[in-house]
Every structure is written in structure tokens, then in C-alpha cells.
Structure 1
């Protein structure tokens, strides 16, 4: 029985994880930074600046950041974005 308790304790410690707390002030700073780029519609300079900013920020927290490009066809306007 004691061995089972020890095994359970080890398993529980192994699967327990801690999560970072949400920082509302930091989130607001990120929001302000993105808004400062101006309109961020695809193809605009604001879009490119925001993309670069987000890529740099995410690169701080990951070994690799993959960008996935795609083309969206707006059926209503008949345009590709």
C-alpha cells in the first residue's frame, strides 16, 4: 500500500503543471502597440509592421515560429487578399 501511495505521488507530481497568470496590463500594452501600427488590412504597411512585431515577440517564447501564408478569395467583392 505504501508503495502504491509513493507511485501515485510521483505520478501526480509528474503530471502537475503550472500556468502563467494572465497579465492584463501586459495584454493592454500589446493591444496599444498593434493599434499604433494603424490599419492592419492585408497588404498594408500596418499589416506588415504588426506581423513583424508579433513574429519577434513570439520568437522570444519559442524555438521556432512558423508563418503560414494563404490567399483568401472574397466572393462578395471578387478580390483575392
Structure 2
């Protein structure tokens, strides 16, 4: 009877040890995953040319007219009338 009790204690100890190691492995795997990468910076703006004076400027700074891009409202008004 003593041997059955010792065997039961050893089996329970082995079961608990194995489950503890599996939980540690899951925790390590979760910590090992790299953090999400930040979004890449936006690409460069397209460069356009003013149809009136020929100035090169980024498209975000240009004024859009019916005939194309201009460096300002005055050049758009002079070119398009």
C-alpha cells in the first residue's frame, strides 16, 4: 500500500511539474514575439512645375488650376484669366 501512495505522489508531482513547464513555455513564446512595427513614413511628395513661371514645388504646396499647377493664386489668375 505504501508503494501505491508513493507512486501516486510521484505521478501528481510529475503532472504538476509538466504543466508548469508548459505554462512557462507559453509565456516565453508570448514575450518572444516582436512588438508591432511602426507605420513607415509617408513617401515624398510629387514635384510639379508652375505653368506660369516654371518654379518647381511640392504638389501639396501648389495651387491646382484648370490647366495645371501654379505656385500661387496670382499666377493661376494671370495664366487662366
- Determine if the TM-score, normalized by the shorter chain, exceeds 0.5: no
Q: TM (normalized to structure 1)?
A: 0.27
Structure number with higher relative contact order (C-alpha < 8 Å, ≥ 6 residues apart): 2
Structure richer in strand, relative to its length = 2
- Which has the larger Rg? 2
